[in-house]
Amino acid sequence: MIPSSFPDSTEIARLTARMLLEIKAVHFNSREPFTLASGLPSPTYIDCRKLISYPRIRSTLMDFLTVTVMRDAGFEAFDNIAGGETAGIPFAAMVAERMALPMTYVRKKPKGYGRNARIEGAMTEGERVLLVEDLTTDGGSKLSFVDAIRETGATCGHTAVIFYYGIFPETEKTLGDHGVKLHSLCTWWDVLAEAKVQKAFDNETLDGVEAFLNDPRVWQETHKS
């Protein structure tokens, strides 16, 4: 069912941050930083995959993501919803259900046997495809998925994520230069604001996270092991 009413984007961001904190998908540790996939340190880590285990929260956030996309991109803007392997697959399925559209998914690389395909499901030339993922940091990982979609003859000019880091200024330019517009529900700034309201972490931790968010590249450089 397609949701017909929804809060404004500011309230969606606040509520999304609150839900992520409630299920402990948000991890802050400025004393013992996490190591990201890039190998760089970070005092923040988020696990959006946890959302699939919380039915009420996942349903609300999928409503939010659906209405955000329709509000920003259009109510008849897409023909197919594609999930990025692997975290984006369940969220793409839920958005596709709400929008009453076909769902597909995109592999990170060909299987290496059989059809050797990257696209699973039915995607045809000329379809307008929305790429759904759990999150984005600098936008770079989305480009390979977008290219795989375009190789079918379909178009992909939009990607929707639950969480957007919102601290690397090059992200939207990287996607924009590739002809892709980003839609998201909340950022680290929204999570930090809600964490302060809830006193979810001690002040030293929150201050350390805020320092990172204000200048992440410098923070990472000074905290390399």
**Is 14 annotated to bind ligand?**
no
**Is 138 annotated to bind ligand?**
yes
The predicted-structure confidence for 37-80, as pLDDT tens digits, reads as follows 778 899 999 999 999 999 999 999 999 999 999 999 999 999 99
- Whether the upstream peptide bond of residue 86 has omega within 30° of 0, thus cis, is yes
Residue 1 pLDDT > 70, yes or no? no
Is 1 a member of any domain?
no
Is 72 a member of any domain?
yes
**Is 140 annotated to bind ligand?**
yes
The predicted-structure confidence for 138-162, as pLDDT tens digits, reads as follows 888 899 999 999 999 999 999 999 9
pTM (two decimals): 0.94
CATH number for position 159? 3.40.50.2020
**Is 107 annotated to bind ligand?**
yes
**Is 134 annotated to bind ligand?**
yes
**Is 124 annotated to bind ligand?**
no
Domain enclosing residue 47, as ranges? 9-222
Report DSSP letters for 97-151, one per residue: HHHT--EEEE-SS--SSTT--SEES---TT-EEEEEEEEESSSHHHHHHHHHHHT
Is 4 a member of any domain?
no
**Is 50 annotated to bind ligand?**
no
- Please count the structural domains in the chain: 1
Is 2 a member of any domain?
no
